[in-house]
Structure 1
Amino acid sequence: MSRTIQLPRSDGSLHTHHLNEPTDRPLPTNPPNSRIAYAAAHVVADPFGENTPGSPAAIDWDSTLAFRRHLWECGLGVAEAMDTAQRGMGLDWEATRELIRRSGEEAARVGGRIAAGVGTDHLSPDVTDLDELVTGYREQLDVAQRAGARVILMASRQLAAAATGPADYRRVYDKLLAEVQQPAILHWLGPAFDPRLEGYWGSSDIDEAAESLLEILHARADRVDGVKVSLLDAEHEVRLRERLPEGVRLYTGDDFNYPRLIKGESGTFSDALLGVFAAIAPAAAGALHALDEGDETGFDEILGPTVPLARQLFAHPTYYYKTGIAFLAWLRGRQPGFSMVGGLQSGRSVVHLAEVFRLADLAGTLPDPELAADRMRCLLVTAGVSR
């Protein structure tokens, strides 16, 4: 198979791209020890399932679990059933519950680190009663804890709509944190990822929202492992992590600025809970192990080339980044087809995906360039931009 391919541009033209030699990255034998790193994993759609918009999710369980084993083999933890897995964008609660159960069993079998998102997405969108929201959280909390996963208390669209101010968030989170079996991870997902979370923690001003969050963290520091922050604002993240209670981690969810935030500055650093790590797992593992060895130059050399790819994957509208994650898994042979639950493969244009392909190659993240090029050609023919 040829390594030369014609890729479409937004102006209607085609340009020739010559693929690079694959980057040889031996997988580490152990997880990194200088940072904790979770990759938020996607789900693989069953190609024989309906999986149209509004349909119950039909999942290819073999491929979905195999992808998680790949992440564990890279030494990364798995952040399960998060927004990367299409929570609120095609993954219904019945499928989510089964996903958490199966992934928990697989994590126990292979000794992998796992955390799982719990929320209120199984409730009616119109629920406004705070006690009912707490009960909804508890139902999902029980599923995650039975699976042996660390709990991630996901941001709730219903809570964002129902809360009248910071006191309502304190009321809900105080009750939930009192019931977790091990310290939980809190979840601050900005409106770029989900517009319906605007004003979370009680204010649309992120500095005011941070004060509300910090009050919860300081009051319940013994019940909190960390907070995952996905605001795509590196300066705000640095300020926030400097004010966290002792022992509470900041897990960066900034898929634009992750190398700087993970490497750290002024004696502080962020751990990682990133969707982009599912797209670049071997590179992420290699960079983190370079950091373990004090090799910041090696860290930069490995992760730096992945940033343009990440910025393309998470380009506006950011919440469609899941399409690029699944696309890359298909290009790399880690799932049989490029389809997604809820039909979300339509979330990005073929021109956008062609640029993802090109940047993934430049970043050295396509282990089998011939396979990737062959699959890209199939997509281009299907889309009508190639013959």
Structure 2
Amino acid sequence: MTSVFMPRQDGSLEEYRLRGEPITRPGAAPAFNRIAYAAAHVVSDPLRDSDPWGNPAIDWEATMAFRHHLWGLGFRIAEAMDTAQRGMGLPWPAAQELIRRSLAEARSVPGADLACGAGTDHLSPADARSIDDVIAAYEEQVGFVEAEGGRAIMMASRALARVARSPDDYRRVYGRILSRTKDKVVLHWLGDMFDPQLKGYWGSENFGQALETVLAIIGENSAKIEGIKISLLDNAKELALRSRLPEGVLCFTGDDFNYAELIEGDGKKYSHALLGIFDAVAPSASKALAALAEGDLATFRGVIEPTVPLSRKIFEAPTQYYKAGVVFLAWLNGHQRHFTLPSGLQSARGLLHYADIFRLADQANVLDKPELAAARMRNLLAVLGVEQA
């Protein structure tokens, strides 16, 4: 049995014996009865980095290969989102190249689908002077996505959070952008646990007041909205939004703590998914969603519920650093040859955090290649001073 000597919280070591069983890949991309977007990460290229903190090099071959991995498991892709380190290591020019390449790649894959993040991250919040500045920034990014043949996910804007003075400012910005989009757009409600600069988004720190603003924007523009992703890590808040959405506007869960129950639903209503954790647990999520589509709730629960403790560890506070855990698992599972992130973000979490992820991933059957994962974990431990017995 494969084992690794792992650190405990008290500084001692334990011999951890792997016991997980890798999830078998489907022969063909399965069909789901929920729309399931996986927000995908990018793979950095440490052999070409000259400015890893400002303009990091991207390994495009490995990045595109990972998208094929997700499409092959039945997922749509949410491209160039916060999981790809938008605003935390992936600048807009690199995001443009990512969007361009992914859209071209999707056209080569039958049935492949994706939507692309469009925000205002090329406009520094400190440089935003007015609502018109924010509108112009959104128009540039949404226009780029649509000119490339893509559909937009309208990401939350740090600049808007800085310059807006009332809920009406949000209604003005979103109304203007949505009135001019070619296709339906997915809105993005990202909580400040994911990005502290979004505190007070929608014009209020009070959830009830923010909800009314969101619903007003959706009601005024519903013909241009596919749905809204809500990422507040609070299932009660998602249910409050979901219960009041107009007919034809979908709720996409972005709740990486409670996604299993929100996707399953209550027998009447359910959430679709747009999740960063699906990047890390894609084979398990694919198997679970396929079982749900067949009415096999026992398999759905049995496969997806063990991934929830893993997800809660990856997304624990400070939540914005979750990307490190996602890429850690991509490395353990052989999707990239190294464990580095743009802007060196792997340093945002410590060894004990990664050790916990390793154990929980094994227990959730998320380690696709246990021997490889164990070898790479031993290498990481050795670099950080933990010798194997």
The bucket for the TM-score relative to the shorter chain is over 0.9
Unaligned 5+ segments in structure 1 are none
In structure 1, the residue matched to 2:380 is: 379
Give runs of aligned pairs for residues 286-305 of structure 1, distance below 5 A: 286-305=287-306
Confirm or deny that 1:110 pairs with 2:88. no
Q: Is the 8 A contact 2:38 2:276 kept in 1?
A: yes
In structure 2, the residue matched to 1:363 is: 364
In structure 1, the residue matched to 2:199 is: 198
Q: Is the 8 A contact 2:48 2:57 kept in 1?
A: yes
Distance in 2, matches of 1:379 and 1:204, equals 41
Q: CA deviation at 1:28?
A: 5.8
Paired AA for residue 190 in structure 2: L
Q: Percent same amino acid at aligned positions? A: 51
Distance in 1, matches of 2:26 and 2:66, equals 15
Distance in 2, matches of 1:128 and 1:300, equals 49
Paired AA for residue 362 in structure 1: Q
Q: CA deviation at 1:139?
A: 1.0
- Cα RMSD over matched residues? 1.3
Greater displacement, 212-221 / 49-58:
49-58
Greater displacement, 269-278 / 53-62:
53-62
Distance in 2, matches of 1:289 and 1:266, equals 17
Q: Secondary structure at the match of 1:78?
A: strand
Q: Is the 8 A contact 1:119 1:154 kept in 2?
A: yes
Paired AA for residue 369 in structure 1: P
Paired AA for residue 69 in structure 2: H
Q: Is the 8 A contact 2:40 2:83 kept in 1?
A: yes
In structure 1, the residue matched to 2:121 is: 121
Distance 1:109 1:302, change over 3 A: same
Q: Is the 8 A contact 1:51 1:342 kept in 2?
A: no
In structure 1, the residue matched to 2:167 is: 166
Distance in 1, matches of 2:304 and 2:51, equals 36
Distance in 2, matches of 1:294 and 1:196, equals 41
Distance in 2, matches of 1:301 and 1:21, equals 14
Paired AA for residue 115 in structure 1: A
Paired AA for residue 276 in structure 2: G
Give runs of aligned pairs for residues 182-261 of structure 1, distance below 5 A: 182-261=183-262
Q: Is the 8 A contact 2:186 2:225 kept in 1?
A: yes
Distance 1:129 1:307, change over 3 A: same
Give runs of aligned pairs for residues 1-387 of structure 1, distance below 5 A: 3-27=2-26, 29-50=28-49, 54-111=53-110, 112-126=112-126, 127-386=128-387
Q: CA deviation at 1:149?
A: 2.3
Q: Secondary structure at the match of 1:220?
A: helix
Paired AA for residue 10 in structure 1: Q
Q: CA deviation at 1:52?
A: 5.5
- What per-residue deviation string (whole Å, max 9, x for no partner) do you get for residues 28-70 of structure 1? 6245331000000010001213275632021000000000110
Paired AA for residue 90 in structure 1: G
Distance 1:290 1:86, change over 3 A: same
Q: Secondary structure at the match of 1:109?
A: coil
Paired AA for residue 164 in structure 1: R
- What per-residue deviation string (whole Å, max 9, x for no partner) do you get for residues 68-90 of structure 1? 11000000011001000001111
Q: Secondary structure at the match of 1:196?
A: helix
Distance 1:268 1:28, change over 3 A: farther
Paired AA for residue 186 in structure 2: I
Q: Secondary structure at the match of 1:213?
A: helix
Q: CA deviation at 1:97?
A: 0.5
Q: Secondary structure at the match of 2:41?
A: coil
Q: Is the 8 A contact 1:22 1:368 kept in 2?
A: no
Q: CA deviation at 1:124?
A: 2.6
Distance in 1, matches of 2:315 and 2:120, equals 25
Superposition TM-score, scaled by structure 2 size:
0.97
Q: CA deviation at 1:375?
A: 0.3
Paired AA for residue 235 in structure 2: A
Q: Is the 8 A contact 1:339 1:345 kept in 2?
A: yes
Distance in 2, matches of 1:21 and 1:315, equals 23
Greater displacement, 154-163 / 15-24:
15-24
